[in-house]
Amino acid sequence: MRLGVISDTHGYLHPEVLDVFAAVDLVLHAGDIGPIEIVRDLETLAPVLAVHGNTDTWDVRRWCKRTVEVELDGFMLVLTHGDQLGKPTPGGLHAMFPAGEIIVFGHTHEPCLELVDKTVTVMNPGSAGAPRLGVPPSVGIMELEPGIPPRARIVSLGRG
């Protein structure tokens, strides 16, 4: 299963996302979506599993949970924005979600890929919206296959 991992669009879907996610089976959006139309645009590529972030409106919060735990290809995946931790860290997320074999989060706008024994355990795709905090926009691609450790990478989205 090929996952497109995105977060912190804040109402702007970078045009390159459509190309990068062209062959994904599922899109994970880790919150701070902006208008729900962002999700609708992503749904033209693949089904979307999304959580709300701290800046999302009540319309988005009615549609999205704060955290989702789901089994995908034999892995327990946790999807959250991470703002409930203030500034989330891999260690803090592991402590909050001990059952999560893979934890995908957003909020910091800083790409993060934590590997343990070459297995993805925590991923933040960075911000796919307009550049903020001096960090260029980015998304992630994750590959899951039963019995094989998850693989992932961060994909830079040009100059924004």
**pLDDT of 138 strictly over 60:** yes
From the list 115, 125, 116, 119, the residue with the least C-alpha distance to 82 is: 125
* Max CA separation in the chain (angstroms): 40
Give the span between the Cα atoms of 40 and 20, in whole angstroms: 17
Determine the pLDDT at residue 121.
85
- pTM for the full predicted model: 0.94
Number of Cβ within a 10 Å radius of residue 74: 11
In terms of residue numbers, what domain contains 23?
A: 2-156
**pLDDT of 160 strictly over 50:** no
Residue by residue, DSSP assigns 98-131 as TT-SEEE--SS-S-EEEEETTEEEEEE----SS-
**pLDDT of 159 strictly over 60:** no
Residues in a beta bridge with 11:
none
How confident is the model over 109-133, as pLDDT tens digits?
999 998 766 566 899 999 998 777 7
Count of domains observed in the chain: 1
How confident is the model over 53-85, as pLDDT tens digits?
999 999 999 999 999 999 999 999 999 999 999
Number of Cβ within a 10 Å radius of residue 118: 8
CATH of the domain at 37: 3.60.21.10
